[in-house]
């Protein structure tokens, strides 16, 4: 590498402190640039507030819809079963007593839950003694 000679050192010394005035319009251009940015910031703040407000309205709407329709369940259990496509796995835990009654009504005694439910429905409104007698008549297997 060459040593920094006198000439180069002189150039360095002079250019290090070299100054030049920009044109007069450069400040106004800079101000315009800064103002443009300010406008963008304002717009982004407005958009942010609008999106927050829209989210709140949407949330309130969903909550209202949920409160109105969730507590007003007017469909019969037969309708619900038909919506569920008669799938016992879907409805059995919610509607076990009703399904059992339905099974008994149509005499589908061995479809899913088995005889025990049928017998339970039959004895549902009986006293423990009456139920015991009924179950004894049907045999021990029913009690399992």
Partner 1 sequence: MTEREIIRGCLANDRKVQKKLYDLYSPVLMGLCRRYITKKEDAEEILIESFYKIFSNIRQFKGKGSFEGWMKRITVNESLMFLRKKYNFNVGLESSQVDLKTMPAAEQRLFENDILQLLDHLPTGYRTIFNLYVIEGYTHREVAEKLNISINTSKSQLIHAKRRLRELIKKNEPAIAC
Q: Does residue number 39 form part of the binding site for partner 1 (CB under 8 A)?
A: no
Residue 43 contacts partner 1 per CB under 8 A: no
Is 76 one of the binding residues for partner 1 (CB under 8 A)?
no
Residue-by-residue DSSP string for the chain: -----HHHHHHHHHHHT---PPPTHHHHHHHHHHHHHHHHHHHHHHHHHHHHHHHHHHHHHHHHHHHHHHS-----HHHHHHHTTT-HHHHHHHHHHHHHHHHHHTT-TTSSS-HHHHHHHHTTTS-HHHHHHHHHHH-GGGG-
- Of residues 11, 45, 47, 59, which one binds partner 1 by CB under 8 A? 11
Answer for which of 1, 69, 73, 74 binds partner 1 (CB under 8 A) is: 1
- Beta carbon of residue 1, minimum distance to partner 1 (angstroms, whole number): 6
CB of 90 to partner 1, least distance (A): 59
The verdict on 27 binding partner 1 (CB under 8 A) reads yes
Give the separation between CA 92 and CA 84, rounded to whole angstroms.
11
Given the complex with partner 1, which of 35 and 133 has the nearer CB atom?
Answer: 35
**Residues making contact with partner 1 (CB under 8 A):** 1-2, 4-8, 10-12, 14-23, 26-27, 29-31, 33-34, 37
């Amino acid at each position: 590498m060459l040593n920094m000679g006198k000439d180069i050192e002189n150039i360095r010394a002079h250019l290090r402190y070299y100054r030049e005035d920009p044109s007069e319009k450069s400040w106004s251009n800079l101000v315009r640039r800064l103002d443009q940015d300010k406008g963008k910031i304002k717009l982004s703040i407005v958009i942010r507030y609008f999106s927050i407000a829209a989210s709140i309205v949407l949330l309130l709407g969903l909550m209202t819809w949920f409160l109105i329709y969730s507590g007003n369940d007017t469909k019969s259990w037969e309708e619900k079963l038909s919506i569920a496509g008669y799938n016992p796995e879907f409805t059995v835990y919610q509607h076990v007593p009703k399904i059992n009654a339905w099974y008994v009504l149509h005499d589908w005694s061995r479809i899913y839950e088995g005889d025990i439910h049928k017998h339970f429905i039959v004895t549902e409104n009986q006293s423990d003694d009456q139920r015991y007698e009924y179950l004894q008549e049907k045999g021990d297997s029913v009690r399992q």
